[in-house]
């Protein structure tokens, strides 16, 4: 079989997304009924796809260790629970997190590239990326330069992502589009394409630092971009909706959508993640309800 040749699309050509069609299809995913047995499997899967995150100026070593303990143990009174997929911290906390998760299989992700604004020089962004990887980060979550993108400097955005990808070395790269600042589905689709062709291993909706975060219609647009890229290149790209996903029911809607658009190969934490720390507790509450028949109070679960 002849090897596929990767050719870059012309990013200056406007994307054309049917807004009404996207919103109507996205709404249908929220109306699917899920049987009890499938629901429990879905909750377990969602739990294993979560990136627990602490990205605050007041982060301390103790807070990071506490989060990592929760990531590995989750709920000691419920045996056979999976771990979450990863913990995500600032570069300065990577070494602490790496030691805390040990050999649990939980990955350590680090934000980089002047998160969350992206307002810095490429030199500093690359230095920060290399520092995080040297400290032990398995994954890097970078932000694109939205100002450059919105000015139509698509080649700059492409080249910056490609440079960060190279600086990642063995670490996987998640590219955050900050879709709430891109506003339109057309721009979100274009940014998704640029990120994938530039070398992203994952595309991610949001930093979680602005009110307009993830949504099912936005994620649908990005999943369709991943599907089309896979059909053209044979290369799988991961997806991470982040911000604003706090309820198990909503997480299950996302999983139904992923399965329908991308298929079973994406239904694992190698290719799909939730950037939603608050989701973990709600999933745990739902699992305990399915097991015991009663809801546990929120105080039963640790915050971090």
- Asked if 61 and 25 touch (Cβ cutoff 8 Å), the reply is no
Closest listed residue to residue 91, CA positions, set 118, 109, 107: 109
Contacts of 158 (CB under 8 A, 6+ apart): 11, 194, 197, 198
| 240: annotated active-site residue | yes
Q: Is 141 one of the annotated active-site residues of the chain?
A: yes
Local structure of 3: helix, strand or coil: coil
| Catalytic one of 125, 165, 174, 204 | 204
Please identify which of the residues 70, 98, 240, 282 carries the catalytic annotation: 240
Task: Name the catalytic one among 51, 141, 201, 282.
Answer: 141
Residue 101 phi, psi (nearest 5): -80, -20
Contact 52, 67 (CB under 8 A): yes
Pick from 110, 130, 5, 23: nearest CA to 64: 110
**CA-to-CA separations, 107 to 49, 138, 193, 200, in angstroms, rounded:** 11, 6, 26, 18
Question: What single DSSP character describes residue 142?
Answer: E
Residue in the structure block whose two tokens are 């040749």:
5
Q: Cα separation of 183 and 186, whole Å?
A: 9
| Residues belonging to the active site | 141, 204, 240
């Amino acid at each position: 079989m002849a090897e596929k040749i990767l050719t870059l699309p012309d990013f200056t050509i406007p994307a054309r997304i049917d807004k009404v069609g996207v919103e109507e299809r996205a709404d249908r995913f929220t109306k699917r009924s899920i049987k009890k047995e499938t629901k429990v499997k879905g909750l377990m899967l969602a739990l294993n796809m979560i990136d627990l995150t602490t990205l605050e100026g007041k982060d301390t070593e103790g807070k990071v260790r506490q989060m990592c303990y929760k990531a590995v143990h989750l709920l000691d009174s419920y045996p056979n629970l999976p771990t979450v997929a990863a913990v995500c911290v600032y570069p300065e906390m990577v070494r602490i997190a790496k030691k805390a998760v040990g050999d649990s299989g939980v990955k350590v992700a680090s934000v980089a590239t002047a998160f969350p604004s992206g307002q810095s020089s490429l030199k500093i962004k690359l230095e920060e990326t290399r520092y995080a990887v040297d400290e032990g980060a398995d994954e890097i979550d970078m932000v694109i330069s939205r100002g450059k993108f919105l000015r139509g400097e698509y080649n700059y955005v492409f080249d910056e992502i490609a440079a960060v990808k190279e600086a990642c070395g063995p670490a996987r790269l998640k590219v955050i589009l900050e879709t709430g600042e891109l506003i339109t589905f057309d721009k979100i689709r274009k940014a998704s394409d640029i990120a994938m062709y530039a070398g992203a291993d994952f595309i991610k909706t949001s930093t979680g630092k602005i009110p307009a975060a993830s949504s099912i219609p936005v994620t649908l647009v990005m999943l369709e971009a991943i599907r089309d890229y896979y059909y053209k290149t044979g290369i799988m790209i991961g997806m991470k909706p982040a911000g604003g996903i706090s309820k198990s029911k909503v997480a299950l809607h996302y999983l139904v959508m992923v399965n329908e658009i991308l298929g079973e190969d994406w239904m694992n934490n190698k290719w799909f993640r939730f950037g939603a720390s608050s989701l973990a507790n709600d999933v745990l509450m739902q699992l305990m309800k399915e097991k015991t028949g009663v809801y546990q109070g929120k105080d039963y679960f640790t915050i971090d």
